């Protein structure tokens, strides 16, 4: 999993009834875009995240086109 500052991290709830969480990646601390990430979640909480298999990184819509071109 690789990410850049400004990407969105979506973490799916891993138990029945647990809500999904989403937030903006504000810092990448791993090498070459790898985890851990500092994420500012939509609820205002900021924390360091080591994403598991229940997480997805999504680039902002404006950056997706430019990343595909490179």
- Which residue would you say has higher pLDDT here, 64 or 9? 9
Q: Is residue 30 part of a domain?
A: yes
Tokens representing 67? 């990343």
Residue pair 28/5 in contact by the 8 Å Cβ criterion: yes
6 phi, psi to nearest 5 deg: 100, -15
* Domain extent at residue 51: 8-61
pTM value > 0.75 = yes
For the four alpha carbons of 53, 5, 60 and 16, in that order, the dihedral sign comes to: positive
pLDDT in tens, 29-42: 999 999 999 999 99
**Geometric angle at alpha carbon 23, from 2 and 14, rounded to 5°:** 85
Q: Is residue 66 part of a domain?
A: no
What's the domain count of the chain?
Answer: 1
Q: Is residue 3 part of a domain?
A: no
């Amino acid at each position: 999993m690789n990410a850049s500052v400004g990407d969105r991290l979506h973490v799916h709830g891993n138990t029945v009834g647990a809500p999904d969480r989403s937030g903006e990646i504000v810092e990448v601390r791993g090498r070459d875009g790898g985890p851990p990430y500092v994420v500012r979640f939509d609820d205002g909480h900021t924390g360091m995240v080591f994403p598991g298999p229940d997480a997805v990184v999504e680039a902002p819509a404006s950056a997706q086109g430019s990343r595909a071109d490179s």
